[in-house]
Amino acid sequence: MKSRLLDRLLVAAQVHAIESPGPRMRLVTLTGPHLAGLDWEPGQHVRLQVAAGPAAVDWLVGMLRTYTVWSYHDRTMQLVVFDHGDGPGAHWARTVRPGDELLLMKPQGTFVTAAAPYHLFAGEETAQAAYGPMLRALPPGTRVFGALEVDSPEERLDLGPGTNLEWSYRRGRSAASSETLVEAVRRLELPEEPGHAYLAGEARTIQLVRRHLIEERNWPRRNVLTKPFWTPGRKGMD
């Protein structure tokens, strides 16, 4: 029974390679025949088995953590994993090695681009994992605006050519409740008509940016899509 349930819920893969595109980033390449033919939209994530879980959960799927798919083609999938904290996801990121076998759920999620006059992206380091594939998938000539805040230039990922993003650096300041990111978004010269916004990263910061767009720029709530990846003191988001 367990085997039949796992076949329906999880997909088997093998770790092919691990790279470090930034000081706290791991680019994990997965391969395997079971990865073929998956439905994926840029911005979606997978739930990955990183450790054993409580007895009742471990019997079925183990302890899962969520990672955005950086790229996917045929039998190869890449994940950008942000190595932070001391949770099971961070431990997995530090100890995973090529050749390791793992299980993951199929791609899912609604944090994907929608038709709009233009697109706005805002977030910090962790948001890059979603924004890279989303930006690369936009048609040529699409109007894009954005503000990204990372700790240092070394933590910038290559999000693709032709992206009109403003970058700022915290230099050791906390990424939580970042007023400087809100100010960066406030300074953007956006068209008068609302576009579609994608806000990802630390939960409290993206709520501040969301409030700015809705209350100060009068954007409809439906035009602002949020994806909280983490926040201090909250477990299970790494």
d(Cα 159, Cα 145) in Å, to the nearest integer?
A: 13
Coil, strand or helix at 197? strand
Q: Does the 2-105 domain belong in CATH 2.60.40.10?
A: no
| pLDDT tens-digit readout, 80-137 | 998 877 778 888 988 999 999 999 999 999 999 999 999 999 999 999 999 999 999 9
Which pLDDT score is estimated for 6?
55
Are the C-beta atoms of 126 and 82 separated by less than 8 Å?
yes
pLDDT at 237 > cutoff 90? no
pLDDT at 5 > cutoff 70? no
Phi-psi bin for 122: left (phi > 0), alpha (psi -120 to 50), beta? beta
- What is the band of 59 on the pLDDT scale with cuts at 50, 70, 90? very low
pLDDT at 215 > cutoff 70? yes
Which pLDDT score is estimated for 7?
55
Cα angle: 185, vertex 146, 27; to 5 degrees: 125
Two structure tokens written together for 168: 């700022």
- Where are the chain's structural domains? 2-105, 119-230
CATH class of segment(s) 119-230: alpha beta
24 Cβ contact list (under 8 Å, min separation 6): 82, 83, 84, 125, 155
Phi-psi bin for 225: left (phi > 0), alpha (psi -120 to 50), beta? beta
Two structure tokens written together for 189: 């010269």
